[in-house]
Homo-oligomer: A and B are copies of this chain.
Amino acid sequence: MKLNCDLGEGFGIYRHTDDAKIMPYIDMANLACGFHASDPVHMLESIRLAKQHRVAIGAHPGYPDLQGFGRRIMHCSADEIEAMLLYQIGALDAMCQAEDTVVSYVKPHGALYNQMMQDIGLFEVIVRTISQYRTDLALVILSVPEYETYEKIARKYEIKLLFELFADRAYADSGRLLNRQERGALIDDKKEVLERVECLLKKGYLESFHGKRLYMKADTLCIHSDTTTAVDLVTVLKDLLAKYRDR
């Protein structure tokens, strides 16, 4: 199981997360592509940092909404989604090529990610668009109980899916994330997060909010980069994952 993290989300003079401190500990860096965050100069810097630490680079495309950080839902047509994905993925990939590396997967950002998980039609547009560009690009999506629905569509377009779990988010018994606004939805106790990950690695399940054992697809674990404990947590998680990976 690999650690993925949203990085390279600064813009111009602004920085959002402490990328230099987090990059050494993760496996996959989801890099913003200039629509919800980042700009060409920052993208190039982020690619160089990822490459230096041998971290796989993913395109992290979002809605064209810098001001709202791609968190505001925008009603876009399939044609608009297709074009904005190719644009963002291609821009990042060209920069990777100039740096002798490559984009190896795609993970939509913010509202686009959430919409993709709620609208199977949008999911198919995204999968199809990626396949039109490069079928060797994987797509990271949320691990959900009905994962086979997604896999069936992805297979049609020859796109590999990577299912991600959140160690610092509580799950309902249904296997869905609790809404952020609900009490207990965010798990900010570092020790508890680590225990949850260890349980997942050792026993193969994540415990729901009400104690149910959830056996979920878990290709990768997403770590939030913008919390105060992010740097602290990521260093410990790396060791934990390495321990189980060696087995």
* Contact of A67 with B133 in the complex, beta carbons under 8 Å: no
A65-83 contacts to B (CB < 8 Å): 65-69, 72-76, 79-80, 82-83
Select from chain B the residue with minimum beta-carbon distance to A130.
Answer: B98
* Contact of B79 with A41 in the complex, beta carbons under 8 Å: yes
* Contact of A83 with B95 in the complex, beta carbons under 8 Å: yes
Q: Give the most central of A69, A80, A87: most B CB within 10 Å.
A: A87
Cβ contacts under 8 Å, A13 to chain B:
16, 69
For residue A86, give the distance in angstroms from its CB to the closest CB of chain B. Answer: 5
A82-119 contacts to B (CB < 8 Å): 82-84, 86-95, 97-99, 111
- How many A residues touch B, CB cutoff 8 Å? 47
A72 to B69, CA, bound (A): 17
* Contact of A34 with B75 in the complex, beta carbons under 8 Å: no
Tell me if A12 counts as interface (CB < 8 A to partner B): yes
Cβ contacts under 8 Å, A145 to chain B:
none
A74 to B75, CA, bound (A): 7
Cβ contacts under 8 Å, A132 to chain B:
98-99
* Contact of A86 with B94 in the complex, beta carbons under 8 Å: yes
Q: 1/0 contact trace for A1-42 toward B, CB 8 Å?
A: 000000000111111100000000000000000100001110
A–B complex contacts, Cβ < 8 Å, 24 sampled: A11-B11, A12-B67, A14-B15, A39-B83, A40-B83, A41-B79, A41-B80, A43-B87, A44-B79, A66-B66, A72-B74, A73-B73, A73-B74, A74-B74, A86-B91, A87-B91, A90-B91, A93-B94, A94-B94, A94-B133, A97-B134, A98-B129, A98-B133, A99-B132
Closest 10 CB pairs of A and B: A90-B94, A40-B83, A14-B14, A98-B132, A40-B87, A73-B75, A91-B91, A87-B91, A41-B83, A90-B91
